[in-house]
Amino acid sequence: MKRMIFLLKNETGNIAVTTALFLVVLLGFTGLALDGGKIYSAKSSLQKALDASVLGGVQVVASKGEAVAVTVAKDLALKNGQTLEGGSIATTSRSIKATQQVSVPLTFAKFFGFDSTVVEASAKAVAAPLKKGFHITPIAVEKDSLPHNTELKCDKTGSHRGNCGYLAFDGRGAANLADNIINGVEVSVGGLETVVTEPGQKWGPVKSAFQTLIDQDAGKPHCQIPDTADGKCSRVIYIVVIDTWDGANGRDTLNAVGLAAYWLEDVREPKRVIGKFIKTIGAGEGDEGAPDYGLYGVKLVE
């Protein structure tokens, strides 16, 4: 009987030790999960802030310069609860990269002498020449006319053998042309050889369509001058860049090599569309290997 009591007491002691060890291990896993969660959350928050900051900065780097892009990136980081101060920001005329570290206070790891740890994140965004874009205006210009030309429209039908710069997207005729000037179409360029011209002047519908775009920006101060106008302005249109009009005869096909942005100043008689080529960001796909005509798409590359 005494031996049985001894054995029971011994097993009770073993259970107590085992339970204590189990609780220590459980506490350790709980602590590691708590600290791991804090590290993951801090890393995720930092990464999202850097992604937003470089995407915002690269939106203006081509049109307003690298210094402005850095300012925009820093402001966006702060709005997302982070700072780029003390980190690194690298820019080019078409890219911005930000790297930052943050210290994360630890809880359980303090028992092992670790009060905090450092997490790091980086993000890079580029503005690449737009290869595929949306809301493209059915107007074509020769690549040699960029960026100095200030007129889109020819005065005489005889120029370019009956062509005045129009393209036939999703149909033909003056009404279709005017509708596509106002609303734009989706276009993919780069080796495309099936852009069809829309011959003739069609000045009445064309003039009305361009004036509609200009009038839509009446209440937008930043759209009134080319230096501040951007892709949110109706009077900023995206047009197709072609190799040349040489050889075009009436309704014909042209080789498209890129896309450009153009700010509409006015439509005037006799049959003139006045404006200025600008650099801006458009919605669509960019291609870093495509020719640069001043219209870009943005994307994260790191």
pLDDT tens for 84-132 read 998 999 999 889 999 999 888 877 666 666 677 888 999 999 998 887 7
* 3 state DSSP class of 105: strand
pLDDT tens for 5-22 read 444 445 555 555 555 454
Distance, C-alpha 17 to centroid of its chain: 61
Query: Model-level pTM?
Result: 0.77
Q: Which of 188, 166, 162, 164 is nearest to 259 (CA)?
A: 188
Rg (CA), the chain: 31
* 3 state DSSP class of 61: helix
**Cα separations in angstroms, 154 against 177, 197, 276:** 16, 14, 16
Domain ranges of the chain: 1-114, 130-300
* % of the chain surpassing 90 pLDDT: 32
Distance CA 292, CA 140 (A): 16
| Phi–psi pair at 108, nearest 5 degrees | -65, -40
| CA-angle at 170, arms to 168 and 171, nearest 5° | 65
Q: Which residue has the tokens 């001043």?
A: 294
